Amino acid sequence: MSERLKAAFESGRHLAATWVSAGSPVIAEVSASSAFDFVLIDTEHTTTTLETVEHMHRAIVAAGGDAGTVIRVPWNDPVYLKRVLDVGVSGVMVPMIDTAAEAESLVDSLRYPPEGTRGIASGRASGYGSDFRSYVERASETFVTIAQIETLEGLENAEAIAAVDGVDALFAGPADLSGALGCFGEWDAEPFLEAMDRVIAAGEAADVPVGTLTVRPEDAPERVERGFGFQIVGKDTTALREANERALELYDEAADR
């Protein structure tokens, strides 16, 4: 499963993902039942615990499709990162990577010695020890590492970040990046669009794909044309809210409520 997503990122084809904020294995499984390449579980801006992440990952696998599991971690924290990888997920997305040095530190914390400093343990990722030696030897080839560009400093250093060995993709975080530019939520603002183009150019220079969260689904075609290699085009809480509002609107029209 993990190797499949890594290969998909390296293939150059356009990938689609969905975003899950609710700490629910049911939501994760339902999301994975659609033809997404991966499900992004957010733990930066949610109360989802690591134990719940493990159950959600199992649910995604149980859905029986090809969707991988990518965890958006709270921070570039080597302790949390190693625990997430021990679950056996397909990748991590790390917020607020501002410099090449921070990207190098990230990669170092994800790799086993002697290439890095990740602690070695026989967790779920290695079949609880049944595949221990083989997993340790090939671990860095089993998951995707995505660095988020969300600040003016990160934007300035995007090309250097993308060039770090072990960074598989960049992700232009629309909310924080637009906020840093003084145009929060203005998805058509020229400074925001120019910043997106800079991140895309940085990825192209290093031959790594660049992704983003497409808040408005109707923007997806334009984002493909702009050069994004992958997009997160759905979000659980947004989809639920909009579906509820639409259902209530239709009922109110019929019942004159």
Instruction: Give the catalytic positions in this structure.
Output: 45
Amino acid at 35: A
Report the C-alpha gap between 231 and 193 in whole angstroms: 15
Asked if 208 and 230 touch (Cβ cutoff 8 Å), the reply is no
DSSP state of 77: -
Residue 110: half-sphere exposure toward Cβ, Cα within 13 Å = 32
Give the number of other Cβ atoms within 10 Å of residue 96's Cβ.
17
Cα 74–Cα 78–Cα 83 angle in degrees, nearest 5? 80
State the DSSP H helix or E strand holding residue 148, giving kind and residue range, or none if neither: strand 144-149
Find the angle CA(133)-CA(137)-CA(142) to the nearest 5 degrees: 110
Instruction: Give one DSSP letter per residue of 203-243, joined into a string.
Output: HHHHT--EEEE-SSGGGHHHHHHHT-SEEEEEEHHHHHHHH
Which residues face 176 on adjacent strands?
A: none
